Amino acid sequence: MAKPLTKSQLAASLADKAGLTKKQASEVLAILTELSYKHAKDTFTLPGIGKLVLVNRKARLGRNPKTGETIKIPAKKVVKFRVAKAAKDAILGSK
């Protein structure tokens, strides 16, 4: 399995494709990250890639795997990333 791209490799690739400097490409990635953090509460979409969604999980009963004891897991908010259909088709191939 290939290694994932690092931030600097991603910035370098973006700089080459868009005709930017590496510093400008890094700034674009930083701004995109900041925007996604700020707007994740309202659903942040990256067209063609997917979207960040804030989801409320209900309280539930769980089990301690070590002792087998039943425990209460409180309700909480979590952030999920939903992959776009276009990304799934591009990566996995359409059926």
> What are the pLDDT digits (tens) for 47-75?
999 999 999 999 999 999 999 999 999 99
For the chain, where do the domains classified as CATH 4.10.520.10 start and end? 43-95
pLDDT at 21 (0 to 100)? 93
What is the predicted pLDDT for the residue at 61?
A: 95
CATH class in words for 43-95: few secondary structures
Angle between helices 22-39 and 7-18 (to 10 degrees): 110
* pLDDT above 90: percentage of residues in the chain: 89
pTM reported for the whole predicted model:
0.74
More confident residue, 93 or 51: 51
Average pLDDT for the chain? 92
